[in-house]
Amino acid sequence: MSNSDNFEFGGDFAWYPSEEYKENSRLREFMDIHNITDWDALWKRSVDDTEWFWTAVLDFLKIEFYEKYDKIVDMSKGNPHARWCVGGKMNIVHNALDKWIGTDKQNQDALRYESEEGELKSYSYKELSQEVNKVADGLRKLGYKKGDAIGLYMPMIPEIAIALLAIAKIGGVILPLFSGYGEKAISTRLEDADAKAVFTVDGAMRRGKVIKMKPVLDEAIKDVPTIKNIFVYKRAEIEIEMSPDRDILWEDLINDADPNAKTEITDAEDILMIIYTSGTTGKPKGAVHVHCGFPVKAAQDMAHGLDLHEDDKLYWMTDMGWMMGPWEVFGTLLLGSTMVFYDGAPDFPQEDRLWKLVEDHKITALGVSPTLIRALMKKGDEHIKKHDLTSLRVTGSTGEPWNTEPWLWFFNTVLEGKKPIINYSGGTEISGGIVMGNVMKPMKPCAFTGPLPGMYADVVDENGNSVRNKVGELVIRKPWLGMTYSFWRNDDRYINTYWSRFDNVWVHGDWAAVDEDEQWYILGRSDDVIKVAGKRLGPAEVESIVVNNEHVIEAAAVGIPDSVKGQALVVFLVCKDDDYSKDKVVEETKNLLITEIGKALAPKAIHIISDLPKTRNGKIMRRLAKKAYTGEELGDLSALVNPETVEEIRNLNK
């Protein structure tokens, strides 16, 4: 992105799909079924004929219904309130587990797990189904039933997937909670959803240390009178307080439980899950998802974008509190693939831990964030060269816009310039991606090959008109299966957030662009973009320049109010812990930016800080950095893994 409104990003293609990738792809399989020869023709038909496409997706994924739906989609109340699989009865757990039992699939690994300490576990589809059934039966015996909301406050251990699926099996409502949340963040979400129970652990392991979780939850639920039970799995084997009338150990919950428990027959539109997302102001937003929604979209994205096959093993570095956690569980199981969980830091106890995981588990599909790759790149190539990564067939990336250098490093060093990075961008309310790469079309660094099939995405100007080779707002012009039904108990906020700008058009809040080769780019949140003296400046552009300094690990650029220019540029740097002068780093950074973007856009201030405010999945929270620096009200900090950085930034300007 340039410092004008014209789009100048792009460059040459870096990866071209081989005939093997194209001909063996799930996309080609789908296209052959419907006699479609060209990807562009598929996308056009998918958005021109919504009913045909999503019916075809349900058939392709072999989604089974107890009673077939009357209508695939009902848009009588307008695009914001489209309803899907209307009149149908189904439970997504039947499709994820039950239907595989009695087939050859039942003996395949559904879940592989490695703890930070090196403990290994695996569950076949049959074994996972039996564990889910026992927890579901235990819940029923305690009186839990369809419609009851139950929280998940656990690290990425097998039991969190088992609990998630058991809640859905009885027709309950899943409430995923980030494992790093503090008391207030937990209580706010549980109280808002009228939660009846929570699954947790005594403690989690992180970098060899125990992180207590049960005591945090004990404090949080003091403000949640609807909670009847806490179910506790002893992960860390530490001493904790147990309330005899409320708390139940995992082994007691499943004691004498039925491993063949029945699956609740639910409506396709029954609520499956409420996932809360944080804003910088106001209460967290609870995105409402249904059985014939989020899981189906997750599986479609994995098939059409990530090209996940039944024999693939997928590890996506995430937490169940973020969308990508449930996405991995539901998507892999619906496709008959294998999910891999790792409960620990990617560079502990050795800096090559992630690459060792890939080798040891023969992972074929790996999901990362640009932030993670930037951090691992700084540790050197030797950690990659220690390991056999030939099992990797495809990689995925989400969470942040890329800059070119780490993208190329990942592509050339880890993937040897031969395997694709499937860029993926969407959100919790989307149930997955708006734009994504795929294995049928060539890719440029940092780019997306375009909108996913079924996603009528566009880039528009301030009047809602389509633009190309120019920066604009990312929008979606038609509903899709998987879109949130609304925000829990706050439909007005849902409408105001996404549907109030243009009539019947979803405005996502991202700046985007499409270049002359129809490659798409996401350039950051539209409220993150900086406008200096009328010139639009993207944070990613500034940050890509800054991290070229070998002493800078990562950076965040924000715009602050300026009486002359409207906004002024401020840059926060995280530097290597070396003996190089920090004053020199600041001076070099300023000179580099003046050279690259011009003196008129030179930063007003450059600050070196210990870390950037981030979510657990690596997303840099620039808006919080800006608010802290300018002394504004910060709002909800619960999504941050390192809230202390916000206070550090606030103190810079005192």
Phi and psi torsions of 240, nearest 5°:
-140, 160
Domains 98-253 and 527-652 share a fold: no
Going by C-beta distance under 8 Å and a sequence separation of 6 or more, which residues neighbour residue 109?
Answer: 122, 123, 124, 313, 338
Q: What is the pLDDT of residues 213-268, one digit of tens each?
A: 999 999 999 989 999 999 999 999 999 999 999 999 999 999 999 999 999 999 99
Confirm if 573 and 589 have CB atoms less than 8 A apart: yes
Indicate the residue type of 217: L
Side-chain half-sphere exposure of 614, counting CA atoms within 13 A: 18
In the chain, what's the furthest Cα-to-Cα distance?
Answer: 73
Helix (H, G, I), strand (E, B) or coil at 290: strand
The winner for highest mean pLDDT among 328-332, 523-527, 626-630 is 328-332
Contact 163, 152 (CB under 8 A): yes
Question: 178 burial class (0-12, 13-18, 19+ CB within 10 angstroms)?
Answer: buried
| pLDDT tier for residue 145 given thresholds of 50, 70 and 90 | very high
d(Cα 221, Cα 198) in Å, to the nearest integer? 10
Label residue 151 by pLDDT band (50, 70, 90): very high
Cβ-in-10-Å burial (0-12, 13-18, 19+) of 210 comes to middle
Amino acid 533: pLDDT? 67
Q: What is the pLDDT of residues 579-604, one digit of tens each?
A: 889 899 999 999 988 887 778 788 99
DSSP 9-75: ---S--B---HHHHHTSHHHHHHHHTT---HHHHHHHHHH-HHHHHHHHHHHTT---SB--SEEEE-
The CA distance from 179 to 290, in Å, is: 23
The pLDDT value recorded for residue 4 is 36
pLDDT tens, residue by residue, 314-351:
999 999 999 999 999 999 999 999 999 999 999 999 99
Return the structure tokens found at 51.
Answer: 């009913």
How far are the Cα atoms of 97, 119, 121, 324 from residue 128, in angstroms, in the given order? 8, 18, 11, 20
Would strands 338-343 and 365-368 be described as parallel, antiparallel, or unpaired? unpaired
Six token digits for residue 505:
């058009």
What pLDDT shows up at residue 524?
77
**Please, what is the end-to-end C-alpha distance for the chain in angstroms?**
33
For 428-471, the DSSP string reads TTTTEEEEE--TTS-B-TT-B-EEPTT--EEEE-TTS-B-SSB-
Residues 535-547: what's their mean pLDDT? Answer: 77
Q: Is it true that the peptide bond before 349 is cis, omega within 30 degrees of 0?
A: yes
Rounded-to-integer distance, Cα 245 and Cα 227, Å: 12
Q: Is the CATH number 3.40.50.980 carried by domain 98-253?
A: yes
Q: Per residue in 448-507, pLDDT tens? A: 999 999 999 999 999 999 999 998 999 999 999 999 999 999 999 999 999 999 999 999
Specify the CATH number for 527-652; select among 3.20.19.10, 3.40.50.300, 3.40.50.2000, 3.30.300.30.
Answer: 3.30.300.30
For residue 184, how far is the Cα from the chain centroid? 23
The dihedral region occupied by 368, where left means phi > 0, alpha psi between -120 and 50, and beta the remainder, is beta
Contact (Cβ atoms closer than 8 angstroms) between residue 235 and residue 203:
yes
What CATH number belongs to 19-90+270-524?
3.40.50.12780
Alpha-carbon distance of 370 to 513, in angstroms, equals: 19
pLDDT in tens, 552-585: 988 999 998 887 777 889 999 999 877 889 899 9
For the chain, the domains span 19-90+270-524, 98-253, 527-652
* Stretch 506-532: mean pLDDT: 87
Mean pLDDT in the chain? 92
Residues 6+ apart with CB under 8 A from 276: 175, 177, 189, 192, 284, 285, 286, 287
Residue whose token pair is 């243009």: 502
pLDDT digits (tens, 9 = 90+) for 277-309: 865 456 789 999 999 999 999 999 999 999 999
pLDDT > 50? residue 5: no
